[in-house]
Amino acid sequence: MSKKDLALPKYQMVKDYVLSQIENQEFTMDHRIPSESEFSKLLDVSSITVRKALSELVNEGVIYRVRGKGSFVASQAAVSEKTSNLVAFVISGVDLYDSSYMQIMRGIQSFLGKHGCKLIVEFVENDFEQERELVLGLIQTELRGLLIYSSDPDAAKSYLGEIRSKSIPFVMLDRSPSGYPVNVVTCNNHDGAYEAVEYLIKQGHRKIGFAAYDYHLSPEVDRYNGYCNAMSNSSVPIQDSFLFLDKKLDYVALARLVQNGELTALFCANDKRALEALEQLTALGIRIPDQLSLMGFDDFESAKFAKVALSTVKQYFDVLGYESADLLFRITEGSSYGNKKVMLPTSLVIRDSIKPVQG
């Protein structure tokens, strides 16, 4: 090896080796080149170095990848033929009328449009078996990758293994299965909830409740933990009667707590629950925010137009979509290693549903 070779970055040495083998016709068109591990042993470099070199060669149109088979020498035409430009987005168990999901899709489209890819959107409404069948059908087609917003991420483990067995890149949005490593993009649920509850405490509230909506989902667990930590770190006790973790909330019992002065504020795990609470409690004669301060999470479009404009934690759904597509591309191009959990920032939005404690 010459001194000139030693001066080169190691990944460039790998690239030069592949290019020289192609030039000498040792590697011919559609010829399978060595694997990452084979290159590592052959050239005495790390697998990360090889991966970087091969990713650049893919981007330059020198080689192409076939899922589950390896990397091959290609002309530019062969690359365009063999690399799918389709990305599928599966949205399951959502309220389709809410604009947040349109914002997510707009973010995904914004990224894909810059990279010449098309988006297939598949909606599934509250039917996990249908979600599973849909995903298993999609992975039989030629896809660049898969974006998944699952209604039940823990149950989704039953098909995630199938996706992996076919070497199809995928990214989960917003929520992920417990105890199962995946690539996921979500907002910083814990810290967003912490900031919201901390704000309520600074407004003089000490009797603060928590109301879940789908407590089995990871974002709501993170938001609950943010609520608990904010209360604990301010030495504010949490009573069991303050916690409403079931899907069906007993509003009569909740109203009784408010009327008796036992509860002055309620942090809801999402805007759906907060807006429902606003309607139900108002119907029971509770005045918001005079008797109860109310905080949501998400900042749905409808939150600002409620009969009492809702204070909430804003997450940026368009950024969620964009960053999910970006991560998917980094995986397909080999520039992202290992499973990533990307957490996006939130911001506190204060409107009319919160009032400081008097006295």
Q: Same domain for 233 and 152?
A: no
Token pair 């598949």 is at which residue?
122
CA separation for the pair 266, 247 (Å, rounded): 16
Contact assessment for residue 345 and residue 127, using Cβ atoms and an 8 Å cutoff: no
Within 27-165, strands assigned E span: 63-66, 70-73, 86-92, 118-124, 145-149
What is the per-residue pLDDT for 85?
Answer: 84
Phi, psi of 213 (to 5 degrees): -130, -55
Strands 312-315 and 346-349: antiparallel
Within a domain: residue 355?
no
Q: Same domain for 77 and 193?
A: no
Q: Same domain for 215 and 278?
A: yes
Q: Same domain for 160 and 196?
A: no
Within a domain: residue 241?
yes
What is the per-residue pLDDT for 350?
Answer: 98
**Average model confidence (pLDDT) for the chain?**
89
3-state helix, strand, coil in the chain (%, to 5): 45, 20, 40
Within a domain: residue 153?
yes
Within a domain: residue 356?
no
Angle at 182 between CA 219 and CA 62, to 5 degrees: 135
CA separation for the pair 266, 296 (Å, rounded): 9
Residue 183 has pLDDT above 60, yes or no: yes
Task: Mean pLDDT check: name the lowest of 122-126, 225-229, 265-269, 285-289.
Answer: 122-126
Q: Same domain for 225 and 183?
A: no
CA separation for the pair 163, 145 (Å, rounded): 10
Q: Please give the average per-residue pLDDT across 113-126, as a whole number.
A: 87
Q: Same domain for 199 and 223?
A: yes
Q: Please give the average per-residue pLDDT across 164-175, as a whole number.
A: 92
**Token digits for 257?**
């707590």
Please report, for residues 2, 15, 28, 86, the alpha-carbon distance to residue 41 in angstroms, rounded to integers and kept in the order given.
19, 15, 22, 35
Within a domain: residue 359?
no
What is the per-residue pLDDT for 51?
Answer: 87
Token pair 């009667």 is at which residue?
241
Within a domain: residue 180?
yes
Q: Same domain for 288 and 193?
A: yes
46-102 pLDDT, tens digit per residue, is 988 888 888 878 777 788 777 677 888 875 444 444 457 899 999 987 665 568 888
Within a domain: residue 222?
yes
Q: How many CB atoms lie within 10 A of CB 37?
A: 10
Q: Same domain for 265 and 194?
A: yes
Cβ-proximal residues to 213 (8 Å cutoff; 6+ apart), any chain: 220, 247, 268, 269, 270, 272, 273
250-268 pLDDT, tens digit per residue, is 999 999 999 999 999 999 9
The model's confidence at residue 359, banded by pLDDT at 50, 70 and 90, is low
134-158 pLDDT, tens digit per residue, is 999 998 888 899 999 998 999 999 9
Give the residue numbers spanning the domain of 73: 3-81
CATH of the domain at 238: 3.40.50.2300
Per DSSP, 125 falls in state -
Q: Same domain for 54 and 124?
A: no
Q: Same domain for 298 and 252?
A: yes
What is the per-residue pLDDT for 134?
Answer: 92
